[in-house]
């Protein structure tokens, strides 16, 4: 069952509000009756419309007049596609689905989100970075697609009569530092990135010192520096812009938590004749929404959501027993001030130790962190920040690399959840082999924000065309979990 805020009690005022607008026959009759009657009608019509909007607002607070949909909060009883999770991934998929038929309502799409404040969602707690410097061609291609999208974000997401979108993009390269031990891998990665068309330069310690004089090059054997398509932006703005645009094209938003799936048939015959107890048609409800396809875009909670659909609940050795290995992992972000720190040209620096930082605005403010080791993984019950982790594990590394940081002062901090794929830290995208109307788009393990725009388009292609066209993401399918084949990304932060 899905617990939602919507109840029948909320529907009645809406029905009353709609009534004045109910007779489409009226206008035609009056139109034929002559010019003065026509003017009267239009004056009357405008008044009726004003009244209608006022009543709609009173009936559903927070609902704006939306000529394409019925209401932004009122979910329909059925949909073609229900997307669970209204983070950046969910809204990107919704947007791209509607882009395929922007002016017709042939495809009914609903996004179900339990928390419109996004208090725990990874999207709004991320640090907003985009880079081309990955080791897997798929990840590089997705970043390059997203960078192009962000460059022309207003062409895609601009809404008529609304102010232009400013995602506050800060163009700035990522600077990866490698020790003697890691230099060969770094060089190999850069070769792959260049083959994919990315502009990345390799710097010797001397070149590094010349470019960024404030870096202590001790222990650095090689560095790679992105020359384009890298930087950071405001995740909230992008999320809101995607949601706004998708809703303006008719996507419905449903506020509620998906807590179970119901199914019409709970038997399914697989290719090898095995009968498994899995739903074919899933129902998500706030009250219930019947649908043909469910997309699991529940971020760090998608492992849990998959379980609700039966994934991973079968006997351990069977196909039905393989879980979606995505779970929350807590990551801290610290913001500090250092008046004599590096200036405007500061890149997003990723130290060989894994510690990273970037400029946060101007005026000597910086933001950064370090992922804990497996043994140090903090409890995920809450989003409390461990301040000692900064003092003991991060600060010494930062101060070694940038001596000016010896005098830094931490000003604020926060924690968020990585949507972590414990199998190989890469996303699981595509259908489940048994529950074939369940699509996955989760497990991005710290790089989902920048890939969301490409992922949305690719998942749309898979749903509507049955194959990928923009970026071939077949290697990220659920099948690799079955085969036990890890697709490892070497540049995980």
Ligand X SMILES: Cc1cc2nc3c(=O)[nH]c(=O)nc-3n(C[C@H](O)[C@H](O)[C@H](O)COP(=O)(O)OP(=O)(O)OC[C@H]3O[C@@H](n4cnc5c(N)ncnc54)[C@H](O)[C@@H]3O)c2cc1C
69 CB neighbour count, 10 Å cutoff: 16
Q: Which is nearer to ligand X, 73 or 183 (CB)?
A: 73
**Cβ nearer to ligand X, comparing 270 with 380:** 380
CA angle 414, 450, 151 (to 5 degrees): 120
Tally Cβ neighbours within 10 Å of residue 23.
10
Instruction: Indicate whether 86 belongs to the interface with ligand X (CB under 6 A).
Output: yes
Query: Please, which residue, 56 or 289, has the CB nearer to ligand X?
Result: 289
- CA–CA distance, 446 with 122 (Å, rounded to integer): 9
The single residue among 173, 299, 368, 456 that binds ligand X, judged by CB under 6 A, is 299
Q: Counting contacts by CB under 6 A, is residue 128 touching ligand X?
A: yes
Q: Under the criterion CB under 6 A, does residue 220 sit at the interface with ligand X?
A: no
Spatial separation of the C-alpha atoms in residues 293 and 279, rounded to whole Å:
11
Tell me the residue ranges of DSSP E strands in 267-310.
268-269, 275-276, 282-285, 288-296
Q: Which residue in the set 331, 358, 397, 432 belongs to the binding site for ligand X (CB under 6 A)?
A: 331
126 makes contact with ligand X (CB under 6 A):
yes
Q: Mutual orientation of helices 448-465 and 137-151 as an angle, nearest 10°?
A: 100
Task: Provide the minimum distance between the beta carbon of 138 and ligand X in the complex, in angstroms, as a whole number.
Answer: 14
Q: Which CB atom, from 278 or from 301, has the smaller least distance to ligand X?
A: 301
Choices 97-105, 113-121, 185-193, 472-480 (CB under 6 A): range interacting with ligand X: 113-121
Which residues does residue 175 pair with via DSSP β-bridges, in sequence order?
Answer: 225, 349
Write each residue from 130 to 169 as x if it is in contact with ligand X (CB under 6 A), else as -, in one continuous string.
----------------------------------------
252 binds ligand X (CB under 6 A): no
Q: Residue 305, interface with ligand X (CB under 6 A)?
A: yes
Q: Which residue in 352, 442, 460, 491 binds ligand X (CB under 6 A)?
A: 442
What's the closest the beta carbon of residue 92 comes to ligand X, in angstroms?
8
- Determine the interface stretch with ligand X among 46-54, 351-359, 395-403, 444-452 (rule: CB under 6 A): 444-452
Count of helices and strands (H, E) across the chain: 15, 22
Residue 236 sits in the site that holds ligand X (CB under 6 A):
no
Cα 263 to Cα 268: distance, rounded to the nearest angstrom? 11
Residue 257 is a binding residue for ligand X (CB under 6 A): yes
- Piece of the chain touching ligand X by CB under 6 A; list 164-172, 173-181, 190-198, 292-300: 292-300
Interacting residue with ligand X among 145, 233, 357, 444 (CB under 6 A): 444
Closest CB 238 distance from ligand X, rounded Å: 10
Q: Cβ 262 to ligand X, closest distance in Å?
A: 15
Give the side-chain half-sphere CA count within 13 A for 433.
Answer: 19
Q: Are strands 231-232 and 170-171 parallel, antiparallel or unpaired?
A: antiparallel
Q: Which of 419, 424, 461, 489 contacts ligand X by CB under 6 A?
A: 419
Categorise residue 159: left if φ over 0, alpha if ψ from -120 to 50, beta otherwise.
Answer: beta
Check binding of 114 to ligand X (CB under 6 A): yes
Q: How many residues bind ligand X (CB under 6 A)?
A: 41
The answer to whether 84 contacts ligand X (rule: CB under 6 A) is yes
Taking the C-alpha atoms of residue 377 and residue 371, their distance in angstroms, rounded to an integer, is: 9
Sheet bearing 200-203, strands edge to edge: 200-203, 222-226, 174-178, 348-350, 356-359, 365-369, 326-337, 409-421
Bond into 287 cis (ω within 30): yes
Query: Which residues face 285 on adjacent strands?
Result: 288
The Cα 187–Cα 206 span in angstroms is 17
Distances (CA, A) of 173 to 1, 34, 295, 343, 352: 46, 67, 34, 14, 16
- Does 310 bind ligand X (CB under 6 A)? Our answer is no
Q: Which stretch binds ligand X (CB under 6 A): 27-35, 96-104, 311-319, 414-422?
A: 414-422
Q: Which stretch binds ligand X (CB under 6 A): 30-38, 42-50, 64-72, 415-423?
A: 415-423
Name the site residues for ligand X (rule: CB under 6 A).
84-90, 112-115, 118, 121-123, 125-129, 257-258, 297-301, 305, 331, 333, 416-419, 442, 444, 446-450
């Amino acid at each position: 069952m899905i617990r939602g805020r919507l109840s029948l009690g909320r529907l009645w005022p809406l029905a009353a509000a709609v009534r004045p607008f109910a007779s489409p026959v009226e206008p035609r009759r009056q139109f034929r009756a002559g010019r003065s009657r026509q003017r009267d009608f239009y004056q009357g019509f405008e008044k009726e419309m004003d009244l209608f909007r006022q009543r709609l607002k009173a009936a559903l607070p927070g609902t704006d007049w939306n000529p394409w949909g019925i209401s932004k909060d009122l979910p329909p009883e059925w949909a073609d596609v229900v997307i669970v999770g209204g983070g950046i991934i969910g809204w990107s998929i919704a947007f791209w689905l509607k882009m395929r038929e922007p002016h017709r309502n042939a495809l009914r799409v609903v996004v179900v989100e339990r928390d419109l404040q996004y208090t725990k969602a990874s999207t709004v707690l991320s640090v907003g970075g985009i880079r081309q410097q990955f080791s897997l061609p798929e990840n590089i291609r997705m970043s390059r697609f997203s960078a192009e999208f962000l460059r022309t974000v207003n062409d895609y997401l601009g809404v008529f009569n609304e102010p232009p979108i400013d995602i506050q993009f800060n163009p700035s390269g990522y600077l990866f530092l490698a020790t003697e031990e890691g230099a060969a891998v770094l060089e190999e990665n850069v070769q792959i990135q260049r083959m994919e068309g990315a502009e990345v330069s390799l710097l010797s310690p001397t070149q590094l010192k010349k470019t960024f004089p404030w870096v202590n090059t001790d222990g650095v054997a090689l560095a790679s520096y992105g020359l384009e398509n890298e930087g950071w932006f405001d995740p909230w703005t992008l999320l809101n812009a995607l949601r706004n645009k998708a809703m303006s094209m008719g996507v419905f938003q449903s506020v509620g938590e998906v807590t179970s799936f119901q199914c019409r048939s709970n038997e399914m015959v697989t290719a090898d004749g095995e009968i498994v107890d899995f739903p074919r048609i899933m129902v998500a409800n706030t009250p219930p929404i019947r649908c043909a396809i469910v997309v699991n875009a529940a971020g760090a909670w998608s492992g849990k959501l998959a379980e609700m659909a039966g994934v991973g609940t079968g006997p351990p050795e069977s196909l039905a027993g393989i879980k979606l290995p995505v779970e929350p992992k807590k990551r801290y972000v610290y913001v500090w001030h250092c008046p004599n720190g590096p200036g405007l040209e500061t890149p997003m620096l990723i130290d060989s130790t894994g510690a990273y930082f970037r400029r946060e605005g101007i005026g000597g403010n910086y933001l950064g962190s370090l992922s804990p080791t497996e043994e140090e993984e903090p409890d995920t019950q809450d989003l409390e920040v461990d301040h000692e982790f900064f003092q003991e594990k991060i600060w010494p590394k930062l101060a070694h690399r940038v001596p000016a940081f010896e005098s830094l002062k931490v000003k604020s901090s926060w924690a968020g959840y990585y949507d972590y794929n414990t199998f190989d830290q890469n996303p699981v995208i595509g259908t489940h082999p048994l529950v074939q109307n369940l699509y996955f788009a989760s497990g991005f393990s710290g790089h989902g924000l920048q890939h969301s725009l490409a992922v949305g388009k690719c998942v749309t292609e898979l749903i509507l065309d049955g194959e990928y066209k923009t970026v071939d993401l077949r290697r990220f399918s659920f099948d690799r979990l079955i085969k036990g084949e890890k697709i490892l990304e070497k540049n995980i932060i």
